[in-house]
Amino acid sequence: MAEHVGRTDARRRAALPSASRTSSSGSSPSSARRSAPLERLNPLTKAAGPLPATVMLVLVRDLATPAAFIALALLLLLLGARLDRRNLLFLALVPAIVLTTGTSLSLWADPARFEETAALLRIGGWTLHAGALETGFATGLRLGAITALALLSGLTTSGPDVARSMVQQLRLPYRIGYTALAAFRFLPRFGHELEVIRQAHRVRGAHAGRGPFAAIARWLGTIVPLLAGAIRHGERVAMAMDARAFGAHPTRTERHVLRWRAVDTAAVLGFWAVSAALFLTVPALAG
């Protein structure tokens, strides 16, 4: 019996060469096209690599170090991520965060603290000091750098793959991991349910009327029925899973295998080394 199953499996794999390739390359199993270099890394690699730098960046106060990390992260993303419109939009977000946050924080800063630094701008009784601008942009650059490092995993990893790698590499109990995988399937269901509730409300004339307040009342009126309906749907899904003996065994076979390969270890160690080098050399070079 087992032999027979094995042979069928082998035959199926021979018929579908692309399926076996994606599962062994460790990339997103759902994508048939050739994936970008960063997408082929294990999801945990892209979390573990930038993690020490992210923590350290919270504590730095200069301008050059976060700027260097923004450059590093953007360079890696330009080389290693798929450059479609959505991803390019996210990349443009980083300089936008730096500029707007830096400007507004220097405006909100306490002017009394920076009185001895040079005055850059004078409007009436209010003065923008160089010190306030520097502090504001240090924070803006820092937040931009933390965002850029988060984008390394955010733009190259799918949610289901993170859930799978948590089960396969981090040994999260698979019942929780598969609960997360089921959760992704609830999203379209929510849209359908919402439409049904709206129609029911409209038929009964609930929260009728025009204007923003009626719209808010309509929106609030959908929350409880939407959640109640979704939880009831979830209970039926759970019953169906139980009927198929979900969780009957301590382990289970995975349909999509994500591997931790030598290149993942190398990527994490490499990123740590570059981070350490930047933290050690950049402030000295800039200072």
Partner 1 sequence: MKNAPTAYLITCAVIGVAGAVLLAPANWLSTAVFAAAPFAAVAIAGLWLLPAVIAMRLLQRPGAGLLVGLISGLVIMPFSGYGYASIATNLWWAFFAELAFLLVGYQRWWTWLHYAGAAILGIVYPLLAWVSFDLGSLSTPALIGFFALTLASVLAATAVGILIADRLAKAGVARGVRPKRRWGVPAGDGPAGQH
Which residues contact partner 1 (rule: CB under 8 A)?
43, 46-47, 54, 58-59, 61, 90, 93, 96-97, 100-101, 104-105, 108-113, 132, 135-136, 138-139, 142-143, 146-147, 150-155, 157-159, 162-163, 173, 175-176, 179-180, 182-184, 186-187, 190, 223-224, 226-228, 230-235, 237-239, 241-242, 246-247
φ, ψ dihedrals at 198, nearest 5°: -60, -45
Side-chain half-sphere of 214: how many Cα atoms within 13 Å? 9
Q: State the minimum distance, in angstroms, from the CB of residue 1 to partner 1.
A: 29
Pairing of strands 119-123, 126-129: antiparallel
Q: State the minimum distance, in angstroms, from the CB of residue 277 to partner 1.
A: 23
Of the pair 19, 182, the CB lying nearest partner 1 is at 182
Token pair in block for residue 220: 């609030």
Q: How far apart are CA 36 and CA 39, in angstroms?
A: 5
Of the pair 16, 92, the CB lying nearest partner 1 is at 92
Q: State the minimum distance, in angstroms, from the CB of residue 15 to partner 1.
A: 31
Q: State the minimum distance, in angstroms, from the CB of residue 264 to partner 1.
A: 15
Q: State the minimum distance, in angstroms, from the CB of residue 70 to partner 1.
A: 15
Of the pair 27, 135, the CB lying nearest partner 1 is at 135
What region does 11 belong to: left with phi over 0, alpha with psi -120 to 50, or beta?
A: alpha
119 SS3 class: strand
Q: How far apart are CA 257 and CA 254, in angstroms?
A: 6
Token pair in block for residue 41: 């890394």
